[in-house]
Chain A
């Protein structure tokens, strides 16, 4: 079954304690992306990756890091989480979003982070 899998689904932690949210897809998609969803703001892109070892900033990258060492995995890293990073996070993948790329994105189930 085609899936985007995120872990954990829920996490409550404290300010400054490094955390990683994993994302894995089994569709051999080139493009992967992280979004945060906040009430009234919709989804805002944090980082994206066009392929292995190719990553770039989205609209709200501050306080986040990513890596893309393998095609299937795209972890989101919060080196020093702060309360303003409390949000619902979604990972997504698709075949591509480059010129002519019009494939819809497949989303994971979301990770709800609470930073105290």
Chain B
């Protein structure tokens, strides 16, 4: 069965620090990968997505993620975080197996950025 693992449940950083959130998935076939962000009290919003091509994907607000197929990973990065990046981040994967393909979410990583 497909699964998504996010290594860090809580991350605390100071402003201007660099960020890397880990995401690993278990599925051997073709995948599409997503990172969603949920700001406090709000719904999930798409941060970035990978479908094919360049494994380094750039998203909104200075975020990027790198798909490393050999490691089944899709880690999210940002060189310099801001207080406004305080939110919960979810990695999600669709594994294509014919017919209906389900979107599976990780448990989420809660990021707190201190001024």
Contacts and interface: CB of A to CB of B under 8 A. Distances in A.
Interface residues of B, number: 25
Contacts, number: 57
Interface residues of A, number: 26
Interface string A88-102: 001010000111111
A69 to B, nearest CB: 20
Interface string B4-35: 10100100000000000000000000001010
B45 A107 contact: yes
Contacts of A110: 43
Contact of A40 (B98, B99, B103, B107): B107
Given A101-B101, A102-B51, A109 B43 contact: yes
B94 interface: yes
Nearest to B6: A42
Interface string B41-72: 01111100101000000000000000000000
Contacts of B46: 104-105
B43 A98 contact: no
